[in-house]
Amino acid sequence: MNEITSIDVSEIGTSEIYQLLTTAIAPRPIAFASTIDKEGVVNLSPFSFFNVFSANPPILIFSPVRRVRDNTIKHTLENIREVKEVVINTVNYPMVEQMSLASTEYDKGVNEFSKSGLTPIDSIKVRPPRVKESPVSFECVVDNIVELGNEGGAGNLLISRVVYIHIDNKYLDGNKGLETKKLDHVARMGANWYTRVTEQSLFEIPKPIRNKGIGVDQLPKHIFKTDIFSGNDIGRLGNAEKKPSEEDLDEFQKKSSIAQILKIRGKDEKIAQLHKTAKGYLQKGNLDFALKTLFSDGL
Ligand SMILES: Cc1cc2nc3c(=O)[nH]c(=O)nc-3n(C[C@H](O)[C@H](O)[C@H](O)COP(=O)(O)O)c2cc1C
């Protein structure tokens, strides 16, 4: 059994909760938010309490929190209370240092476009400008501000409806869609850590939404009596759309390697060899053969 640390939230302070939440809930995408006050002074700041919450209407939500140290609010929130518009710009690796610079707590009235050296471009439907260097910029109207509390650390949900989108063509694939591999996105982790989405860190999992997986409860029970299969192996096997049929198995068992294993007299040894072979197929990405191997001892 793993040893577990359990915490009653009422017994720890806000800074500690903040650290725990922002380290555990990671990576978080970054909304690089451009806003404007009623005098027309522009502000640009990053927020990683951010995500997409709806496609119809298209809604992005981010949250400037009340400062824990003195319970003051951020200029971004002040601006949005005055002018309910924001451009949410995405952040990728080539601009990450300039984004970080823009998070400096400059005095009100300081335009972080000038401080960070990023380029403002006029928006089409809203007053705040967008960031030229960002891969994608979403012009938004803020429909709602939900204050989550009055004390330091309290979030303010800025429910932002996308009205116009700008995409830098260099991040498009051949079909005018965005290409994940090209985006070079960064995301915020706990403390001062960031992560970068490189080709090496990306992997795909076939979606089990349209095609129902059989579920791990349909797999042969003997696979749970060994630790050769990881949770991911078992998840992948349970994602198969159907069990192999008798005919599939008859055909498959003619393969010499499986035929040899099935001749082994000792049941435990036979199962162990089937497991080893199935694991090998899984490692090569051959789910079909892995499944047939595991069911070869009987359906
Ligand atoms: C990557 C990154 C993510 C951040 N996310 C948040 C956030 O989600 N909420 C928040 O209140 N502050 C966040 N901050 C800190 C703000 O950017 C910082 O307080 C900024 O100075 C606020 O600017 P403003 O007062 O001009 O709005 C983040 C900083 C960085 C570098």
Q: How far is the CA of 23 from the centre of ligand 1 (A)?
A: 16
Cα–Cα distance between 42 and 38 in angstroms, integer?
10
* Ligand 1, CB cutoff 6 Å, lining residues: 30, 43, 45-49, 63-65, 74-76, 100, 103, 105, 188
| Domain shared by 131 and 260, yes or no | no
CATH number at residue 87: 2.30.110.10
Chain segment 111-133, per-residue pLDDT in tens: 999 999 999 999 999 999 999 99
Which ligand 1 atom is the nearest neighbour of the CA of 74? 25
Q: How far is the CA of 138 from the centre of ligand 1 (A)?
A: 18
Q: How far is the CA of 89 from the centre of ligand 1 (A)?
A: 14
Task: Note whether residue 76 is domain-resident.
Answer: yes
Domain count, the chain: 2
**pLDDT at 145 (0 to 100):** 98
Q: How far is the CA of 62 from the centre of ligand 1 (A)?
A: 10
Q: How far is the CA of 44 from the centre of ligand 1 (A)?
A: 10
Task: Look at ligand 1, atom 28, and give the residue with the nearest C-alpha.
Answer: 47
Pick the last residue of a domain from 166, 196, 226: 196
Residue whose token pair is 């400008």: 129
> Among 45, 110, 114, which is best to mutate for testing ligand 1, by the most ligand atoms less than 8 A from CB?
45
Give residue 235's domain range.
216-297
Task: Note whether residue 210 is domain-resident.
Answer: no
> Among 18, 48, 189, which is best to mutate for testing ligand 1, by the most ligand atoms less than 8 A from CB?
48
Q: How far is the CA of 236 from the centre of ligand 1 (A)?
A: 39
Task: Note whether residue 85 is domain-resident.
Answer: yes
Pick the last residue of a domain from 145, 167, 196: 196
| Domain shared by 186 and 46, yes or no | yes
Task: Note whether residue 203 is domain-resident.
Answer: no
Cα–Cα distance between 13 and 32 in angstroms, integer?
28
pLDDT in tens, the chain (299 residues): 689 999 999 999 999 999 999 999 999 999 999 999 999 999 999 999 999 999 999 999 999 999 999 999 999 999 999 999 999 999 999 999 999 999 999 998 899 999 999 999 999 999 999 999 999 999 999 999 999 999 999 999 999 999 999 999 999 998 889 999 999 999 999 999 999 999 999 999 877 677 789 999 999 999 999 999 999 999 999 999 999 999 999 999 998 899 999 999 999 999 999 999 999 999 999 999 999 999 998 75
Task: Note whether residue 91 is domain-resident.
Answer: yes
Which ligand 1 atom is the nearest neighbour of the CA of 76? 27
Task: Look at ligand 1, atom 13, and give the residue with the nearest C-alpha.
Answer: 47
**pLDDT at 255 (0 to 100):** 87
**pLDDT at 256 (0 to 100):** 85
Task: Note whether residue 60 is domain-resident.
Answer: yes
Which ligand 1 atom is the nearest neighbour of the CA of 33? 27
**pLDDT at 206 (0 to 100):** 77
Task: Note whether residue 261 is domain-resident.
Answer: yes
Residue 254, classified by CB atoms within 10 Å of its CB into exposed (0-12), middle (13-18) or buried (19+), is exposed
Which ligand 1 atom is the nearest neighbour of the CA of 108? 26
Chain segment 72-87, per-residue pLDDT in tens: 999 999 999 999 999 9
Task: Look at ligand 1, atom 30, and give the residue with the nearest C-alpha.
Answer: 46
Structure tokens belonging to residue 193: 């850590």
Cα–Cα distance between 154 and 296 in angstroms, integer?
57
